[in-house]
Amino acid sequence: MTRLHRALAVRDAILKWLPGNSRSEDVGGMRVQRADFGKYMLMFRTPFGGSFPAPRDYDMAVFVQQNGPMNLAYGLDLWEWVEKDGKRRIVKLMNLEWGHNGEAALRGFHKSDWDSALLGNLTAEKAA
């Protein structure tokens, strides 16, 4: 299974779990749905929450010009809280965007088996 297929499986499971488990928040001028699930934190955005702000500096403007805009209609960002050497930090696991016509862009996907663990936890919670 490719990383994109793995990311889409995570997205589908999260979108089924999200109603009733998230709260609306303002992040950088956009309205998103945020949820915390065990050691995971996620943000889901829709086209109804506002648009991306303009690039804030020259480097970001160059990145957008070279790589194209990162603004498909929907987005899901997923992080994991990890503790190492007594310090807590957050690691971004996935950044997935998709549009109305089925297009999808995987902007980032952390290398490990985190997705299997997350899907197992979501399945167990639905069964409980």
Model confidence pLDDT, tens digit, residues 41-75: 999 998 876 555 555 677 766 655 665 555 788 99
The phi, psi pair for 88, rounded to 5°, reads -95, 130
Taking residues 32-46, report their average pLDDT. 92
**In 1-128, which ranges are E strands?**
23-27, 30-37, 40-45, 74-84, 87-98, 104-109
**What is the structure's pLDDT at 126?**
66
**R_g (Cα) of the chain, nearest Å:** 15
